[in-house]
Structure 1
Amino acid sequence: MTQRTAFRAALLHCLADPREVGTEASYEYLEDGVLVVEDGKIVQLGDAATLLPTLAATVEVREFPNALITPGFIDTHIHLPQMGVIGSYGAQLLDWLETYTFPNEAKFADPQHAREQAQLFLQELLRNGTTTALVFGTVHPQSVDAFFEEAQKLNVRMIAGKVLMDRNAPEYLTDTADSGYADSKALIERWHGKGRLHYAVTPRFAPTSTPEQLNRAGQLLKEYPDLYLHTHLSENQQEIAWVKELFPERSGYLDVYDHHGLIGPRAVFAHGVHLCDEECQRLGETGSAVAFCPTSNLFLGSGLFDLDQAERHGVRVGLGTDVGGGTSFSQLQTLNEAYKVLQLQGQKLDPFKALYLATLGGARALYLDDKIGNLQPGKDADFVVLDYQATPLIRQRLSQATTLREKLFALMILGDDRAVRETFAAGQSVHRS
């Protein structure tokens, strides 16, 4: 006999993109709501006064006063091996890779180190309310095995892949076009579609892969049509100039990936800070997605992502922390920085749109909105309990908030991991503060 559990608190989730339907039609809010979960799925959602009397006496009801339940956060771009270099000083992208990233990634050749880091990394995600992430591993297959093994124990929905890198990187971190293909294929067979796990073909970025390797990556996507493609695009001006030197025959950075069959549904490109309208149009028409990574773009001095430009062309956009270039695992902190990035360009990030980017927008970017992203019955029971009294400052600010928009905005600007009271994956508590 299956056990139902009910969770009572204020409930808020997105039903659609505010840009498409208007803000008021884009979300559902229940001041005193109940979420009913069974077998890892949401089975009912409703107002407490209506729903509670209908529940069987055997249903446990967990109550969360002074709290808001939202869907679990979705991180569409983050690096497992860069947790150890988060907050490192004074480099832009290409120097950052040479100085900090590559030496740290070398340690992941040791399976024990990879496992310990995977455990810590997953704990940090869950501590911040993130229940799904698209994750860069390292060039070492064992780093991906370790990550998937630990994710499977927690029954969290995760997407990851082995980095492909056969040039312009230290010899100790390079593979070859053939070995990268073979290693990836073995990992795909072992992990893709196993439980709540998915595989992403992961060329680091165009400069570190030969055309031969990019071709083999495209071959994998043809052989396994429901895989993800995860890489970087137009993050930094120096990087873009380098791509032009390495691929003079292509019309631009995106065209390198396009030429090798690496764009389309479930292709996620991190950053996209310096895209032209033609590139945005191509991303939009192919169903590709961009991960907006504001804390990283500011920290590494890369530039300001133009959300309005991307969305005008129908590009799917998710939110990414990009740890360790990014400076926080918290999607609340990431939204705080996203708001500022858009302010600098004369754009506004409404708090309901912000929630959309961190939840349903991320799910749509990953083509997982049939499974995650909101609290509709039938979806996976991935959700987070946000504490209205997490810090003295949050408590004081929210006591003066008169609308839901004001409360949500204050949480997004003042909140961090301390605002996460509890995180649930497939209906099970995976973090409690």
Structure 2
Amino acid sequence: MTSAPPSVDKASLRRAFIASLSGTSLEWYDFAAYSIAAATVFGHQFFPTGDPLVSTMAAFSTYAVGYLSRPLGGFVFGRLGDVVGRKRVLVLTLLLTGAATFLIGLLPTHQSIGAAAAVLLALLRFAQGVGIGGEWGGAVLLSSEFGDPARRGFWASAAQVGPPAGNLLANGVLATLSLLLTEAQFTSWGWRVAFLLSAALVAFGLWIRLKLEETPVFRRLVETGERPQAPISEVFRHERRALLAAIFVRVLPDVLYALFTVFVLTYMTQRLHMSRSEGLTAVMIGSGAQLVLMPAFGALSDRVDRRRLYLVATVAGIVWPFVFFPLVSGRSFLAVLVGVVVALTIHAALYGPQAALITEQFSERLRYTGSSLAYTLAGVIGGAAAPLLFTSLLAKFGSWEALALYVLVAGIVTIVGLCLARSRTGEPVGEELS
């Protein structure tokens, strides 16, 4: 059967939107702080090799751990979200990610405890990934299940704004520290401040989420006894096409995000010999624009066919690296700024509608599990390896063409996913997905 969520007052809908946005923003602040530190500091602090590029590659390997551990979070918390409820799971994921991030700020470096520092860093990064893996599916459902299906793209985009908001905040904190401290102070202890600040931010996020009610859709599933007993096996048995489509459509956005918010800092400092602060500023401005662009593109996807909008943005994402790298070759900050802002605008056109596109592929009783599995498994294919592959390709070939071709391959995978995906813009999504 097909069912729409019960009517809900606008105050509850606004609270759900804010909780989804604030929670994911805080968790992605943690994730973004790690990403920036991996690109600029962790190579020297935890993986000293004498070669800056090799040290950065080692640091990016722990960056990848955060993506590789996401499926565990998707499996564990996705299942719990469909069985015990969205709200309870989202409190747990926030606590896990916040604790791991705070401990990174206290972690001794290689100089103090040797190779054990890198091992502990990888373990904490693993915990971060598990928390994020369970976060996304629930955050999307938190806002979208309170809302009108005709505006699913807009309401679901609340969770999508989390990454640029968290990235903006993390870049802002680290950029401010870079300006206030000397290079020696920043690399010695200044970077830790950004991680320790997460304690206050996570406390605020918990306060917001603990005040929430459970979503109307999950309450209805409880009342009717329709909660799944084995949601993971049901997804793999009955909704395989939906799962494959949802995984593939995420690949290009993850690769683009890794390129233009993480690896771009490495490329600017080590290949173009520009300052870290210039790269951070460009990423901050682009992320600031995404705060508006993502809900705007989410809303636009409610008015046009979501798959068609996604396809146009995918083609733009494939083309742009072939424009970006020649554009910034002159080492002009203005060129870098324009290049990053355009790239993140394209990413917003993909990421804004993405939450609605993915969740509407699954029946409502399996949405948390299906969406979480798609999100986390796609992260392994797309986001996990991207910074490491970009760095390896640059080290091996020494030119940007190999980087652009990598993006092209990711784009082709996403187009395959769009061919598999169902177009359900504006439809109430219930049990039947035929």
TM over 0.5: no
More helix by share: 2
The structure with higher relative contact order (CA 8 Å, sep 6+) is: 2
More strand by share: 1
